[in-house]
Amino acid sequence: MLEEIVVATGNPHKLDEVSRVLSGIGVRAVSLNDVTLPDGSPAGGAPEPVEDAATFAGNAAIKACYYAALTDRVCLADDSGLEVDALGGEPGVLSARYAGVDGDRATRDAANNAKLIAAIRKVPEGERTARFVCAMCVADPDGAILAEARGEFAGTVITEPRGSNGFGYDPLLELPEGKTSAELAPEEKNARSHRGQATRLIAQKLAAMV
């Protein structure tokens, strides 16, 4: 039975969401910064792979295989983002770098949100449907794909951010009941979110491999 898995992210929010689910099947999730490479450096400091796939699933597989080989551990990676129907699916796979790559995570999030708000203002309110998408992949050090999954979390994009939970575009996706993703308690978000869905499917597949 797999006891530990490396989650290929430097985002503590993602690690926490994944950890909560995988702990239910007895799998401990660790971050790249918890894994030491042969030269003594943390894996989180290694050069990142080029995520040049056209789909979330493709990018997740690139990351999972790269970090599994790098760390010599089974690795889980995800690629996630927001798809806005009226914007032709943008920001899509470019969600994390929609407004560029300058600054720290909080700075990039703010710039991405500002760009999305500017774009969506031109769209009638009734046509602002969107969804968060998460594609997840688990690979072993030999490059074999052990499991893949996809989750979605649908709503509409608003122009006034609300809520302090979550990260990224969470304050801008309003759910059918009127709350934004960022207004959900962590437990409720995990139970419903795109990443929660994908992680639960991955957990089922890993548990079935015992």
The count of residues in the chain is 210
Q: What is the mean pLDDT of residues 35-42?
A: 89
Query: CA 187 to CA 137: how far, in whole Å?
Result: 23
- Whole-number average pLDDT of the chain: 93
Q: Which H or E run contains 204?
A: helix 194-208
Query: CA 88 to CA 96: how far, in whole Å?
Result: 17
Confidence (pLDDT) at 141: 96
pLDDT band at 210 (very low <50, low <70, confident <90, very high): low
The whole model's pTM is what? Answer: 0.89
Please count the structural domains in the chain.
1
CA distances from 76 to 19, 101, 134 (A): 11, 24, 13
Token readout for 138 is: 């688990």
The yes-or-no verdict on residue 128 having pLDDT over 70 is yes
Pairing of strands 129-139, 75-84: antiparallel
Q: Where residue 135 sits, what CATH number does that domain have?
A: 3.90.950.10
**Domain, as residue range, for 166:** 4-208
Of the residues 79, 102, 109, 170, only one is catalytic, namely: 79
Active site residue 79: yes
Q: Which H or E run contains 32?
A: none
